[in-house]
Amino acid sequence: MLESGTLKICNASAGSGKTFFLIKNYLYILFNSNDPKKFKTNLVLTFNKKSCDDIKNHILECIKDFSNQKIRNKYNIFYNFIIDNCQLTKDELYKRSKNIEKEIFSDFYTFSNSISTIDKFTYRIIRSFSPNLSLEMNSHNFLSKIVDNIIYKIKNSKKYYRNFIQFFIEEIKHGKNWNLRKEIYNIALIMINENHFFHMKKMKNFSKENLIQLKHIIRKRTKKFENLCKEQGNKFFNFLEKKSIPKNCFIYSDIPNFFIKFLMENIIINPFKKRIEINVKNKKIFSKNFIKENKKKTIKLIRYIISLYKETKYLYEKNISSYILDKFFLKSINLLSIVDEINKEFTLIKRENNILLKEELNQVLYERINHSLPKIYEKIGIQYKYYFIDEFQDISYMQWKNIEILIENSLSENGSAIVVGDPKQSIYRWRGGNSQQFFHLIYSYSTAYKKKLEILKYNFRSCKEIVKFNNSFYPFISKIFKCLIYKNLYKNAKQKIHHINDTGYVRLQLINAINRKKYRENIYKNVIIQIKKLLEKKYSFSDIAILVRTNEEGSYLSDKLIMNGINVNTSISFLIKNYFEIQIIINFLYFLKNPLDQEKRVSLILLLIKSNIIKVTKNYIHNFIKKIIHLPMEYFIKEIFFSLKKKKKNVINIFIENKLYNKSIYDISEYIIDFFDLLSKNNLIYIYTFLDFVYRFTRKIGNSIIDFLKYWEDNKDNIIISNNFKKSIRIMTIHKSKGLQFPVVILPFVDWNLYLNSEKIKWIDINPKLYMGINSLFLEIKSYYKNINSIREIYEKILSNTIFDNINLLYVATTRPTKQLIILSKIEKNQSYISYYIIEFLKYYNMWNSKKYNYSFQKKNY
């Protein structure tokens, strides 16, 4: 129950009824007052629209049931709670419900706005002080336009060319691929990402003149240290030469190799190995034979080499941290050189169109609040007294800072607030989600308000065996964490079982395959077997959800299931751009647009070969491409035609005689389908979806192939085939399944790398005095950082977060089912993979049998 002046923090594991908890407290505020307009003082903020709609609908249905005095079973618990805690008679509850319902529907706009997604709430505030600003939802299109404009200017402006070309020369020097468009797009993407906002803001204010000056200072500084290192290497080898000491006289080659590294300036990775340190300490430098032959002079030789070693070590340890940061800064300084140009283009396009990107919402409001508190905030502070924040583990730093000021104001005036979250379900770090805020909120002390922690202990979603499996597996895997917060979180992850009488079922199928292709095939075979068994047990297709980590895994399974006549409901497979038939049509249209474009010709040929439409032996592919790539259009088409497995002679003349150019894009598409014999019973739905898209384009915009292809590129990620949800198996990524539940969940490909990192860039603090006021530097995460002393701690922190994110991903997946959980994994010996720990789990509970590949958790195994 809500308490005045108190922030209640609710730690709600998966399936523990967090939505119920929020609604229960919301209704308490409504019915514990005689004022039917009390709903106007409540603000509920959720992370996504579905959660928002669910909460809104449940509240409305509840109030409707109360006012009709016909309470559905699912709302009985709310009814009894309100009667008991608000101390109302049934008649009093009925009257209050009627009045509340009347007030809500007379001002539904206010009610609707008071239960909102965080982004929508933020946009509403921004619109209050910038009413003419439009929200651009398609960031890809916006960034692509920036890239187009910049590339045009590079081609047509010497100044632009000079600014950008140096950046790409440096990138190539550091082993990066030459892809101008991709690199500019990626930099623009970093610039709008909230994770990089504070750092990029400082970069944008850094002038080109200062940049050139700083580059010169850093190069001079690094060169000075490299020369000192080289000097130490020379000292050693000059000493050997002067004293006529052969290089093979050392007990190990460690000492000479150590000084070779300094001579060659190969010093970034720590050169002080354990063995060399022990030998220097024990004065074991030379071999026994050398000591025997040079008894008189070995003591002096050893003394000098050890002294030189210690001097070199002192020099290294004193300077290496600064040197490494300087070297990394020289790499990232290339980014600085073009951020300013991209930012100018960015600002220009936004100003011309008066738009704001959806990624900038939190940034704009955060900036406005920190410069001057908008008047709308004062109004909101007066209007709302009770705050309910859902999915707190997914909220970004800025989102919380933008809301926290309102909550603090409310609590200071005897209001109250509830935040609900579960750090184990934090899987959105890449877009700003920050579970650390949840930990900080729980464990930090606040002078501004009182805090109270509540833990929801029961699992109301899943049947007994599923909860028992999760209660056993996650405390077991908690051992993997070095971070105590993460370790304790999963160690104490057990939930109480609510569905005592419903047994439930967990099945683990292990697959042993010699290669990736065979493994994927075996996964699919097992998926089919499980689906057939489920159908025999009277489950329907719509009861089954297949959850995958990547779109590629989802596409593979959905394509195979569709080919076997099984209906699939998924935004992954039903993006029509993923089908080779559509790709062939689009590639051919590109070819017609520019018949001399050799790159498009090669793409078309390879696509036709890969999809088995033309017959070219594997060994002859290169020669075939070489033979036809330069041919005139007519002969190129003929060669393609003669290589087709199925030929329709009546369509060849249309292409050869250039009659297509008088046709509509719709007709051209039909001719391409006919020419390559693309239509079959398995692809009718997406071929016709594509043709419908073409038809609507020609009606709406025109008949230009150039315009159509641009329109296609802008919209291809949104063209999804409509499907019958009731008769289909659902396939979705684990990220999209969050917040949902299904009777049966099949988890194929539970084999991902725990060190697979979505965090590609990490910012680290640097001394601004050494970098002309810049106080942070970005690193592109590389595995060899673990061998560099000065940044090993940073790397290990990233690694710890990465493991946490990947375990969270599995936790989200295994907590979606209500009745059955089926996991398909592989036999794995590499500790980097989640599948290794599944086998270790079986060993821990004495269930492992190397000859057994399937395990049932229906009985008491653990």
Q: What are phi and psi of 354, to 5 degrees?
A: 55, 55
Tell me how far apart the alpha carbons of residues 528 and 698 are, in angstroms, rounded to a whole number.
Answer: 42
Three-class SS state of 614: strand
Q: Quick one: average pLDDT of 334-361?
A: 84
Digit-coded pLDDT (tens) for 78-93: 999 999 999 999 999 9
What pLDDT score was predicted for residue 655?
60
Confidence of residue 55 (pLDDT cuts 50, 70, 90): very high
Rounded Cα distance, 427 and 394, in Å: 8
- Apex 820 CA angle, 815 and 824, nearest 5: 80
pLDDT of amino acid 288: 85
Whole-number Å distance between alpha carbons of 151 and 180: 8
> 203-212, 716-725, 849-858: lowest mean pLDDT where?
716-725
pTM of the full structure: 0.82
Rounded mean pLDDT, 326-342 = 78
> Which H or E element spans position 420?
strand 416-421
Note the pLDDT of residue 176. 54
626-645, pLDDT tens digit by residue?
888 888 888 888 888 888 87
| CA–CA distance, 400 with 396 (Å, rounded to integer) | 6
Residue type, 676: F
Structure token pair of residue 426: 């934090």
Q: How far apart are CA 532 and CA 561, in angstroms?
A: 12
Residue 746 is classified by DSSP as E
What pLDDT is attached to residue 60?
Answer: 94
Once rounded to an integer, what is the mean pLDDT over residues 226-231? 94
What's the CA gap between 417 and 402, in Å, rounded?
15
The per-residue DSSP string of 518-543 comes to HHHHHHHHHHHHHHHHHHHTT--GGG
What was the pLDDT predicted at 573? 58
Mean pLDDT score, 537-566: 89
Regarding beta strands 776-780 and 761-765, do their DSSP bridges make them parallel or antiparallel, or are they unpaired? Answer: antiparallel
The answer to whether residues 375 and 31 touch, using CB atoms and an 8 Å cutoff, is no
Q: pLDDT over 70 for what percent of the chain?
A: 92
Say whether pLDDT at 291 is over 90: no
Phi, psi dihedrals of residue 116, rounded to the nearest 5° = -145, 160
Residue whose pair of structure tokens reads 């464990």 in the numeric block: 443
Report the distance separating Cα 616 and Cα 621, nearest Å: 6
- The more confidently predicted of residues 680 and 75 is 75
Of 73-82, 444-453, 517-526, least confident by mean pLDDT is 444-453
Helices (DSSP H) in 727-788: which residue ranges? 734-737
- Determine the pLDDT at residue 232: 94
Query: What is the per-residue pLDDT across 752-809, written as a single tens digit (0 to 9) for each?
Result: 999 877 666 778 888 888 888 888 887 777 777 777 776 778 888 888 999 999 999 9
Axis crossing angle, helix 484-491 with helix 464-477, rounded to the nearest 10:
150
pLDDT digits (tens, 9 = 90+) for 248-261: 898 888 889 999 99
CA distances from 432 to 369, 435, 759, 793 (A): 19, 10, 11, 22
pLDDT for the residue 447 = 79
**Average pLDDT over every residue of 293-306:** 86
Report the pLDDT value the prediction gives residue 167, as an integer from 0 to 100.
62
Alpha helices, DSSP H, located in 413-446 = 436-443
Question: Can you give the pLDDT at residue 406?
Answer: 92
Average pLDDT over residues 278-299: 86
Contact 561, 554 (CB under 8 A): no
* Cα–Cα distance, 332 to 780 (Å, whole number): 9
Q: Is the pLDDT of residue 547 over 90?
A: yes
Rounded CA separation 568/235 (Å): 71
Nearest to 133 by CA among 356, 346, 347: 356
**pLDDT, tens digit (0-9, with 9 covering 90-100), for 438-495:** 998 988 887 778 899 999 999 999 999 999 999 999 999 999 999 999 999 999 999 9
- In sequence order, which residues have a C-beta less than 8 Å from that of residue 180 and are 6 or more positions away? 151, 154, 164, 168
pLDDT in the model for residue 233: 93
Q: Which two tokens stand for residue 483?
A: 């971070």
Residue 850's SS3 state is: coil
High-pLDDT (> 90) share of the chain, %: 42
Largest CA distance in the chain: 109
Nearest to 841 by CA among 493, 520, 503, 480: 480
* Residue 510, C-beta contacts closer than 8 angstroms, at least 6 positions apart: 825, 826, 827, 838, 839, 853, 854, 855
Residue 731's SS3 state is strand
Q: Which residue has the higher pLDDT, 62 or 758?
A: 62
The two beta strands, 416-421 and 6-12, are: parallel
Helix or strand holding residue 496 (H, E): strand 496-499
Q: What is the tens place of the pLDDT at every residue in 668-703?
A: 898 888 888 888 767 777 888 889 889 888 888 888
